[in-house]
Amino acid sequence: MGTSASQLPKDLLSEYQELTFLTKQEILLAHKRFTELLAKDDRSCSNPRLPMSRILTLPELKSNPFKERICLVFSTSDNKDGSLTFEDFLDLLSAFSDSATSDIKSHYAFRIFDFDDDGTLDRKDLERLVNCLTGDTDETRLTSDEMKQLINNILEESDIDKDGTVNLSEFQHVISRSPDFVSSFKIVL
Amino acid sequence: MSWARERQTLDAGQIHYGPHQSLRLRERPSNSAVQRPPQFNWNADQPEEGAKGRPRNLKELPLPMELKKAIRQVQQMKVPVMSNWQSWKISKSKTMKRFLEESREVLAYVAPWRRTLHKIGGHFGGGVQSYFLFLRFLVVLNFLSFLLIAGFVLAPSIVFQSSPGNSETQNSIDQIECMIYSPEPQSLSVFYQYFLDLLTGMGFMEYSYLFYGFYNNTEMMNLQLSYNIPMAYLLTTAFYFIFCLICIVLRMGAVIRDVVKTGGRAVGGYSTLVFTAWDYGLQGNRATNLKQNNIRYQLQMDLEEERIRKVAASLTMAQTVRLYSLRAFLNLVVFGLIGAAFYAIFKATQFSQSQTGGDFLDLIVQYLPSIVITAANFLVPFLCDKIALLERHSPSTTVILALLRAVFLRLVSLGVLLFTLWNGITCNGVTESAACSVCQYNHKQYPCWETRVGQEMYKLTVFDFITVIAVMILVEFPRRMLVDHCPCKLAQFVGRQEFVVPQNVLGLVYGQTVVWTGALFCPLLPAINTIKFIIIFYCRKITLFQNCRPADRTFRSNSSNFFFLLVLLLGWSLATVALIYAAVMIHPSMGCGPFRFLSMMWSVVPDSLQLLSNSSRDFLYFMGSQAFCIPLFVLLCVVLCYIAALASIYGKTVSLLQSQLKMEGRDKQFLVKRIKELNSASRGKKR
């Protein structure tokens, strides 16, 4: 990124344009927001990493119940702390952008919902997912009976091969039949 | 990341999370196998690359940027063997793509209210946003329509009005009596008269560019240029309708593509809800909490609904009969209510048409049909909602039923108004009766009936607008003040008002239908409507942010979008039928308007066809003949059948694949069981 922190080189910009679903303006805006979040002394370093706690101060992510998962999924950091480089950040915005395909969105949605990173959504993942959706406090959680019934129903509907978990292709099958998903899986800066 | 290591990870296999990995991973959840990033198979892309000449779009790979960059480098290295033609094609497609992207950017930048819509979506979710998107669509549609009309009718009329050398066709006509039409207002008028005129479209408004009656039957005939105002008037209106149809169908197409892709039915309510319910665009704690409440409420409702359905399935015969007879009876009541509303509109229109005068009381009489229609549209759906509670349908059915009733009421009440007017104009369709025999229409009461119909539509538009503003200032705002500042229980119980999307959309559709109906008789109505909708946009935005809390039930934006457009299309067809009937069946008034000497509006088209050169006329006749239309019709039918067959085959394939998946799953489970058995058996032997 060189010396001028607020400016992206032109060839890099066009490369980003080719590799993401973002437009030029969106990439520039993303870069601006990203450098704003960086600490002063980090700006000069060549490929700075933004720690998760800083990223979560973005108003677009701040109140999202899946915010930590989103960071963890898009982070390429080796020690799994959810920190993002600028390119990771672009990947995130690209997946959540308006023009990303339903395939790529559902892929990332699956990984966000896969809380234990084991490649399938099992009962525990589903329970955590539902808790995120309804709010994870004592008075907002579903009762355990309701939760049990709900998870049974979900598995009944979408676990086609009846192995007790929802895998990616089953998940994408559900998503492909829900027209609203693409419009709701969206974060725009 | 070093190149070698990258290579290794990338070569390891296909993109992970395949269906077959799941079992293995569950059996052995060791961290090293699990926490691996998604991988990419270098060799898998090659056949595709060879076939298409262009590798798969890198954007669509769910990989981190670093890997994408590496893949891109490799692809660029592989490219060189290529003919000039191919490389030219690729570079062309690249520039094309860039151009498209850029133009899309510009469009997005030009599109009005982008930030506002974004903010609304962030605070109130996709459902409410879809209402505003719909409103913006209508504003743009109306504005373009206005440009169309201004360009082809208004501007030429103004120019020719002042320029000499135009010829007004003056046929000798024997029915002098029919031509009496003197709309000029009395010279002395009270000061508030202007205000009244503005509201009713009478007086100084009546004889202006606003209404049909003012336009002349000018024909411009120069050597360089010939322009026929009546022809332009009719064709512009026709084109306006076709234009609107195209816009709606295009928009519908975009929506329906998703609906068709989803197979028309959801896989299951719960999984769809849980997997797709979250709106990632939401910002702020308040919105998030509301959304969470919404989802919890919906989940609980659905679970509850399922319980109710189980109860309903176990009902005894007698209970079922009782329930259904109750529903039938309530339906009768609803239809009685709707019928009563129609009768009231009919009577009110008749009464207001028979009165003429000029004072303030008259204003109310003038507005009586609008008032009755608005009141009916407010009261009857309200009662229907209350009745729907007794019917004990499932909640989703209740919503749809209430909407359908409201749509029916809205559109048919407009139809009743038109029917009443038609009754008066054509003497109940009996042209031989005393009042109509001279001019084919009731010339005493309606010297220029088109202007009259235009005024009616103008009044409906204005009144609709006034109600929106009045409701906002007099009801919504005080209610909010009361709820916010009055601690008493009642106010807290009533609570802030909900922003109910479907009802609001219906209001818009109704307004648009009125505009379409009046388009032929009041050419500037689209312009008025543009302004009206723009103001409504801001008003709604203000009420939304100041006075409203989001609805308890969320509306699925995409599926309801389709429904909105369908209703809009219904309104469009109602207006089209009415206008085609007016243009073809009713004698145009002889005292005013561009068609004053014709037996019907449509006859201007065949007349001007006579002026064309022989070959082009023959071509147009051929286009309209059966020899052309029937084959075209047959061809379209064949295409339609083909597409329908294709769709059904896709549906079958989906279900086939589904059953295949099931079979494979069973196989897999069987094998896993076998392995376990063998394992334990061999372990037993070892011991």
**Predicted confidence (pLDDT) per residue in A147-174, tens digit:** 888 888 888 888 877 778 888 888 888 8
CA distance A175 to A146: 23
Determine the pLDDT at residue B631: 92
Contacts of B637 (CB under 8 A, 6+ apart): none
In the structure, what pLDDT confidence band is assigned to residue B167 with cuts at 50, 70 and 90? very low
User: Which residues, including other chains, have CB under 8 Å from residue A6's CB and lie 6 or more apart?
Assistant: A31, A32, A35
pLDDT digits (tens, 9 = 90+) for A12-53: 888 888 888 888 888 888 888 888 888 777 667 777 888 888
| B267/A25 touch (CB, cutoff 8 Å), yes or no | no
C-alpha distances in Å from residue B571, one per residue of B409, B488, B508: 12, 44, 11
Residue A120 has pLDDT above 70, yes or no: yes
Q: Please state, in angstroms and as integers, the Cα–Cα distance from residue B290 to each residue in B81, B122, B126, B553, B658, following that order.
A: 58, 12, 13, 11, 37
Quickly list DSSP for B620-670. Answer: HHHHHSHHHHHHHHHHHHHHHHHHHHHHHHHHHHHHHHHHHHHHHHHHHHH
Residues of chain A with Cβ-Cβ distance to B271 below 8 Å are 153-154, 157-158, 166, 174
Give the other-Cβ count within 10 Å of B372's Cβ.
21
Which residue of B22, B101, B277 is in closest CB contact with A163? B22
B642-680 as b/e, with b when 16 or more CB fall inside 10 Å?
eeeeeeeeeeeeeeeeeeebeeebeebeeeeeeeeeeee
Most confident of A65-74, B121-130, B611-620: A65-74
CATH number of A102-184: 1.10.238.10
Across B6-14, average pLDDT: 41
Q: Is the pLDDT of residue B45 over 60?
A: no
Contact predicate A156/B276, CB 8 Å: no
Q: What are the φ/ψ torsions at residue B119 (nearest 5 degrees)?
A: -65, -45
pLDDT of residue A142: 82
Residue B35 scores a pLDDT above 60: no
Tell me which of B333 and B218 has the higher pLDDT: B333
- What tokens appear for B9 in the block? 């990870």
Which of B253-262, B306-315, B321-330, B440-449 shows the lowest per-residue confidence on average (mean pLDDT)?
A: B253-262
What does the pLDDT read at residue B572? Answer: 92
| 3-state SS, residue A50 | strand
The answer on pLDDT for B588 being more than 90 is no
Beta carbons of A1 and A87 less than 8 angstroms apart: no
Q: What is the dihedral of CA B261, B267, B270, B275, to 10 degrees?
A: -40
Q: Is the pLDDT of residue B166 over 50?
A: no
Bigger pLDDT: A69 vs B212: A69
Q: Per-residue pLDDT tens for B232-247?
A: 888 888 898 999 999 8
Query: The complex's ipTM?
Result: 0.85
CA distance B480 to chain A (A): 27
CA distance B653 to B656: 5
Kindly tell me if the per-residue pLDDT of A140 is higher than 80: no
Which positions ≥6 away from B687 have C-beta within 8 Å? none
Q: Mutation target for B interface from A80, A183, A185, A186: give the one with most B CBs within 10 A.
A: A183
- Asked if pLDDT for residue B398 goes beyond 80, the answer is no
- Closest chain A residue to the Cα of B660, Cα to Cα: A161
Cross-chain Cβ contact A133/B29 below 8 Å: no
Closest chain A residue by Cα to residue B68: A19
Q: Which among B279-283, B297-301, B470-474 has the top mean pLDDT?
A: B470-474
Chain B: residue whose CA lies nearest to A165? B22
Residue B355: predicted pLDDT: 67
> Which member of B35, B65, B255 has the closest CB to residue A90?
B65
C-alpha span between B45 and B48 (Å, rounded)? 5
Name chain B contacts of A167, Cβ cutoff 8 Å: 17, 19, 21-22
Res. B409 pLDDT band, cuts 50 70 90: confident
Contact B126, A180 (CB under 8 A): yes
Residues of A in contact with B303 (CB under 8 A): 146, 149-150
Asked if B652 has any chain A CB less than 8 Å from its own CB, the reply is no
Please tell me the predicted confidence (pLDDT) of residue B46. 42
B534: pLDDT confidence band, cut at 50, 70 and 90?
very high
- Which of the four pLDDT bands, split at 50, 70 and 90, describes residue B552? low
User: Which has more confidence, B318 or B312?
Assistant: B318
Nearest to A36 by CA among A9, A15, A59: A59
Read off the DSSP letter of residue B168: E
Instruction: Report residue B123 CA to chain centroid gap.
Output: 23
Q: Give the closest-approach CA distance of A134 to chain B in angstroms.
A: 5
Asked whether the predicted pLDDT for residue B308 surpasses 90, the reply is: no
Closest to B292 (Cβ–Cβ): which among A140, A167, A169? A140
Spatial distance between the Cα atoms of B292 and B658, rounded to a whole number of angstroms: 33
Contact between residue B521 and residue B221 where contact means Cβ atoms under 8 Å apart: no
What CA–CA distance (Å, rounded) separates B527 from B656?
Answer: 53
How much is the pLDDT for B632? 93
Name the pLDDT band for B32 (thresholds 50, 70, 90).
Answer: very low
Check whether B592 has a pLDDT greater than 90.
no
CATH topology of domain A10-95: Recoverin; domain 1 (1.10.238)
Structure confidence at residue B50 as a pLDDT band (50, 70, 90): very low
The answer to whether the beta carbons of residues B296 and B552 sit under 8 Å apart is: no
Q: At which residue do the structure tokens 């004698």 appear?
A: B587
Task: Give the integer Cα–Cα distance in Å for B594 and B587.
Answer: 13
The tokens for B96 are: 């094309």
Contact residues, chain A, for B299 at CB < 8 Å: 130, 133-134, 142, 146, 150
Mean pLDDT in residue range B115-138: 80
Q: What is the mean pLDDT of chain B?
A: 76
Measured between CA atoms, how close is A41 to chain B, in angstroms? Answer: 24
Query: Is the pLDDT at B34 greater than 60, yes or no?
Result: no
User: What's the DSSP call for residue B550?
Assistant: E
Q: Which of A19, A170, A180 shows the shortest C-beta gap to B59?
A: A19
Q: Where are the domains of chain A?
A: 10-95, 102-184
What does DSSP say about strands B218-221 and B497-499: parallel, antiparallel, or unpaired? unpaired
Give B682 or B488, the one with higher predicted confidence. B682
Domain ranges of chain B: 114-163+194-624, 631-686
